Amino acid sequence: DVKVTQSSRYLVKRTGEKVFLECVQDMDHENMFWYRQDPGLGLRLIYFSYDVKMKEKGDIPEGYSVSREKKERFSLILESASTNQTSMYLCASSWVGYGYTFGSGTRLTVV
Amino acid sequence: GNSVTQMEGPVTLSEEAFLTINCTYTATGYPSLFWYVQYPGEGLQLLLKATKADDKGSNKGFEATYRKETTSFHLEKGSVQVSDSAVYFCALSGSGGSNYKLTFGKGTLLTVNP
Q: Per residue in B33-51, pLDDT tens?
A: 999 999 988 889 999 999 8
A53 has a pLDDT exceeding 90: no
Alpha helices per DSSP H over chain B: none
From the CB of residue A29, how many other CB atoms can be counted at a distance below 10 Å?
Answer: 20
B97 has a pLDDT exceeding 80: no
Per-residue pLDDT tens for B80-90?
999 999 999 99
- A41: which chain B residues are within 8 Å (Cβ-Cβ)? 106
Q: Check A43 against B104: CB less than 8 A apart.
A: yes
Q: Check A42 against B105: CB less than 8 A apart.
A: yes
Q: Check A45 against B101: CB less than 8 A apart.
A: yes
Q: Is some CB atom of chain B closer than 8 A to the CB atom of A60?
A: no
Task: Find the mean pLDDT for residues A40-56.
Answer: 90
Tell me the pLDDT of chain A averaged across its residues: 92
- CB-CB contact of A94 with A31 (8 Å): yes
Task: Find the mean pLDDT for residues B66-73.
Answer: 96
- Nearest CA of chain A to the CA of B112: how many Å? 20
Q: How far apart are CA A17 and CA B109, in angstroms?
A: 34
Per-residue pLDDT tens for A63-85?
999 999 999 999 999 999 999 99
Would you put residue B105 in left (φ > 0), alpha (ψ -120 to 50) or beta? beta
- CB-CB contact of A78 with A62 (8 Å): no
Q: Is some CB atom of chain A closer than 8 A to the CB atom of B106?
A: yes
Mutate to test the interface with B, among A57, A88, A100 (most CBs of B within 10 A): A100
Q: Which of A72, A63, A69 is nearest to A31 (CA)?
A: A72
Q: ω into residue B10 within 30 of 0, thus cis?
A: yes
User: pLDDT value at position B8?
Assistant: 84
Q: Check A97 against B46: CB less than 8 A apart.
A: no
Higher pLDDT, A96 or B22: B22
B26 has a pLDDT exceeding 60: yes
Within 8 A by CB and 6+ apart from A61, the residues are: A46, A47
User: pLDDT value at position A97?
Assistant: 60
Least CA distance to B39: which residue of chain A? Answer: A104
